[in-house]
Structure 1
Amino acid sequence: MTKAIKLLTALPPPQRERLMALAREVSFPEDTRIFESGTTADRFWVIRSGAVSLDQRVNEFRRVTVATLGAGDLLGWSWLFPPHEWDFGAEAFSRVRAYEFDAAAVLRLCEEDPALGLTLVRCVAEILAHRLEATRVRLMEQPAPRTRGTL
């Protein structure tokens, strides 16, 4: 499996500086719900420190962790694609410090600077591809469910 791409280090310095001009430093206490699946995705974060669990609701009582993100990781990509709703939920696993970006401002920047926009979309796509591959590997490592009539 390839090494995970980190959004800010993947951007060339001039593009990173333009994006970082839009950043706001935020923090989340441990056990804080950052967002819920199905709600409006209007921002994203790059984690500076701490850990965030991405989860999927299985039923009204149970969530399953699908990924754990840490320093340098992108948290949130649903802001980039219609219908701009979170596909997963996210919770601070520990105290988290992050850079927060307003999606509308970043999208305006991408329109003003198409080269930055293309680079950003490619970076997000590579991050998504890596996470999909990691999920596939985790699923393949799970034991097959036993069904009636099998040994």
Structure 2
Amino acid sequence: MITTTYDLMITHPFLAGMSPQHVERLSRWACRAPFKAGTRIFEENGRAERFWLVRDGHVNLDIRVPGRGDVVVETIGPGTVVGWSWLFPPYRWHFGAVTAGPVLAIALDGPGVRRLCDADPELGYELTKRFMHVVVARMQATRIRLLDLSQAPV
């Protein structure tokens, strides 16, 4: 049985409760994105042009800390989303991301999804609410990790 991108998306927890019509419209901007272990998906401060729905595997989110290099602030796994910077100007990554092992994700084109959201404010509002939850959780995880680092010996 061939599984379409839509089929993978409609069952993804990040999109749970979203109307099938909205998921179908989003799926037009989506494709499968398999990654090998240790793949750098994006660099902190790089141009943010997409986001990924993680189906299988884990992704480490990191930040560059002077004197310490890249520090993992959170590891996210199946059912989560990687990348929110594509939604908010200036469209630059606030973190870096590298796979902790093999990952199967669904990549969505940021500029295409932004245009879709502009044309359909209901969809735009729904996605913005979902991504704001992600932003808050990531910032909180970063804060906690940096507090841990400030108390750790160098």
The TM-score bracket by the shorter chain reads 0.7 to 0.9
1:8 to 9, 15, 29: 15
- 1:125 alignment counterpart: 132
Q: Please give the TM-score of this superposition, normalised by the length of structure 2.
A: 0.81
The answer (yes or no) to whether the contact 1:10–1:123 under 8 Å persists in 2 is no
Show CA shifts across 1:9-39 (max 9, x none). Answer: 2523332222123210011100011100111
**Structure 2 counterpart of 1:59:** 66
2:53 aligned to which of 23, 46, 56: 46
Residues 1:75 and 2:113 are matched in the alignment: no
Task: Quote the residue 1:20 is aligned against.
Answer: 27
Unaligned runs of 5+ in 2: 1-12
Q: Is the 8 A contact 1:49 1:98 kept in 2?
A: yes
Residue of structure 2 equivalent to 1:3: none
Q: By percentage of residues, which structure has more helix?
A: 2
Q: Is 2:73–2:145's contact at 8 Å kept on the other side of the alignment?
A: no
Deviation at 1:103, TM superposition (A): 0.6
Q: Which amino acid aligns with 1:28?
A: F
- Select between 65-74 and 52-61 the one with higher mean Cα deviation: 52-61
Which residue matches 2:113? 106
Match for 2:42: what amino acid? F
Paired-residue identity, %: 41
Q: For 2:78 and 2:18, how far apart are their aligned partners in 1? A: 16
* TM superposition score normalised by structure 1: 0.82
Quote the RMSD (CA, aligned, Å).
Answer: 2.2
Q: Unaligned 5+ residue runs, structure 1?
A: 1-5, 147-151
Change (3 A) 1:113 1:137: same
Amino acid in the other structure paired with 1:62: G
Q: State the Cα deviation string for residues 21-72 of structure 1 (Å, max 9, x = none).
A: 3210011100011100111001111111000000001137621101111111
Aligned residue number for residue 149 of structure 1: none
Higher RCO structure (Cα 8 Å, ≥6 apart)? 1
The total of aligned residue pairs comes to: 140
- Mapped contact 2:51–2:86 kept (Cα < 8 A): yes
Larger radius of gyration: 1
